[in-house]
Chains A and B, each alone.
Chain A
């Protein structure tokens, strides 16, 4: 088991001792006995998530751009220094292996974060290019997310945060500690990720929490994060999709096009792994499409009423797939879902047959009560479910 460089602080604060493991790193599920306050901090004030366990690779060398363009679906040659890209990468069959965030640190220098660790694969695919790949997972990383995250950072740094655009990064000092700040996150809100050398992790944490007192800052764990990322319509590996390299059966694999992240697949750039298969898939037509579902609460309420129960709302996000039907025929599955406290809606991410994916289509989703299978009505909607303008806005929030 490995400990994040922030562990001296997070372990003190994780009151319910509610931890889980992420790549064998200890990760707090929540810091208070109830994660709803943490969720609300993300949407109303600001919160900090210790995302240090996320696998990180430093990719550098004269051929770094060529190398990355060969393996990921985004067009890396068009990524400016200081810019950040969301990208996927596939196998030769065009099936997604993982998704992650690519940061261009310099002309020949990148950082890639991934869901699963991929060092072996990244190295196996250098194809004699002049590039070096290092695992830099030990780097400390904090996600500071929420409407007041910018105001908070501005009290610690002279950096021009008002003009730091969404999916861009800068080098800066926070309370005198050298860091990189990227305007990125997994919550769909205004937010930043802060990258720091491990030995300065604790002082950074302390400085942020000291300043955070004025902004109702709280640490948040995985439970709150899951709710936020579903509202933001962001996918999670091992929930909304599986890595093609880690499953056995074809039906468990999916393509980025089916997952609704086709916008991050630059089909017309030079060769990349899986390109041919993806082009063929596009020509053939997609087997699945990913959409949002809004569960009809009146319908769900009626299902619970059959059991003499009041409406039950999933306060904790669920991530076990459930069947979705139309006219009694299964047409796909919902892969994660949650009650959305800000939207006052029960939402889910679903993969359905394409003829059922236009917004407004009425479908049924399975709910199980007392081990009995029931169905509730739901409506297909576009994602993200929640997309405040502050996520991308500049200047005063």
Chain B
């Protein structure tokens, strides 16, 4: 039987890590699964590419923490190449030459906080415990299908009442904090605890990642918590890097999927989902090939899932409206550098911090000003930079003595004004990044052998994510849980029978996490597909 006529149980559109995760679970359950990826390589926003000979870029996503232990265990990912190395914490150089460091060792971090404020040092452990407790409280929600309070159904009612008692068991104080974290700005939330500006800035910048909001915008405290929920081997909120770049995570999941029998095809862009009598039955590739399957699963973002792959007439109008209003607003870019040697940060007293994340967010005002630039449709003149030098930990990334630096940048607004063309704007954006970095690492410019600059449009064009939003849509409270991607359509199903969604635009959201893929697969199997 040739591949064209082969009948599959399931087709997954998109070989991002969530699509691959869904495919792996379905194949493990004995299904005949086909993954169709548009690009020549797997991984979507989690890919590694050697764009300059000998130097591997972890092109988009670069640090790992949210991938839960269940998925690692259930798919036996270490056997397939998952190898995540912890980073040394974080390092924030300040404009006056001072710095703040966050170490893996708690006592070291406390000493650092004490250097800035004795008062903050006294409260820091209390804060850490509170965040830990909140993370533990929210974590169970992340690994389950969110019940819809408006229309819970029997099992949903059970889950809801389990939630109820779960939250009651938190106790009053934690419950209040939980409410605050869901609604406040990262800055306000943190200011209730700390007085040290650089400490607040270092924590608060996490709250703006992937959003088009500033640290003082309400809702950013939740984003902070979202990124706090990760762990490395039980160490909460620790971040690491995958050997060979984040593409290695996607490759490991793909290898697991193949080991269970899944078939994976690259260079296979899907044009449309074939819907007959309100039921998905197959896909049409851009080259016109049709492939049929009992179940079709989109690992793409909600806009692509609902507004590209299927026709408006097959969807209820409330969903169409919700998706059209879904906020993507890509705000992050990336600059990847090939370096001739390790860069020097004069503020870095402890040289081990070269293996940490170097965060350019010297103060809260700095972040808020960076946001101001972007608010009116531009990029930040002095952006937030999250730098990591993977080659300082993983020598496979660059030739001996040479390095790669991965710089996550905010803000780059998707709607940059029409002056100049995109190439010119990209160049200007890249220049702003290097100019800014140079303030804190004066020799950086001289070390650059090659540079890749990525704006939100590049992410949209290359990875296929609408407006280039890193999370397939902002992680705002009105776009989370039973409202992700739209109220009533949060359980990985769609109004079209046998058509499912499993990308980061579904609960619990973005990041290298795999949970959307895992939960979607479980729902599909539950439906008997």
Contacts and interface: CB of A to CB of B under 8 A. Distances in A.
Interface residues of B, number: 28
Contacts of A310: 136, 234
Interface string B72-89: 110001100011011010
Given A44-B393, A151-B395, A344-B82, 10 more contacts: A32-B105, A37-B88, A37-B355, A45-B393, A148-B395, A297-B69, A310-B234, A339-B233, A342-B83, A344-B77
A148 B105 CA distance: 27
Contact of A215 (B108, B136, B233, B400): B400
B429 interface: no
Contacts of A339: 233
25 contacts: A33-B103, A34-B103, A34-B104, A36-B104, A37-B86, A37-B104, A37-B355, A40-B85, A44-B83, A44-B395, A45-B393, A45-B395, A151-B395, A151-B400, A155-B400, A214-B395, A214-B400, A215-B400, A216-B393, A216-B394, A297-B69, A310-B234, A344-B82, A344-B233, A345-B78
A24 interface: no
B374 interface: no
Which residue of A37, A315, A345 has the most chain B CB atoms within 10 A of its CB atom? A37
A341 interface: yes
A364 to B, nearest CB: 19
Interface of B: 69, 72-73, 77-78, 82-83, 85-86, 88, 103-105, 107-108, 136, 233-234, 243, 352, 355, 391-395, 400-401
B351 to A, nearest CB: 11
Interface of A: 32-34, 36-37, 40, 43-45, 148, 151, 155, 213-216, 297, 310-313, 315, 339, 341-345
B393 A33 contact: no
Contacts of A214: 395, 400-401
A313 B233 contact: yes
Contacts of B393: 40, 44-45, 216
Contact of B107 (A33, A45, A341, A342): A33
Nearest to A45: B395
Shortest Cβ-Cβ A-B pairs, 3 listed: A33-B105, A214-B401, A214-B400
Nearest to A31: B352
A151 B398 CA distance: 13
Nearest to B238: A36
Contacts of A343: 78
A36 to B, nearest CB: 6
B401 A213 contact: yes
Nearest to B139: A310
A320 to B, nearest CB: 21
Nearest to A313: B234
A133 B272 CA distance: 81
Contacts of B395: 44-45, 148, 151, 214-216
Contacts of A34: 103-105
Contact of A341 (B105, B233, B394, B401): B233
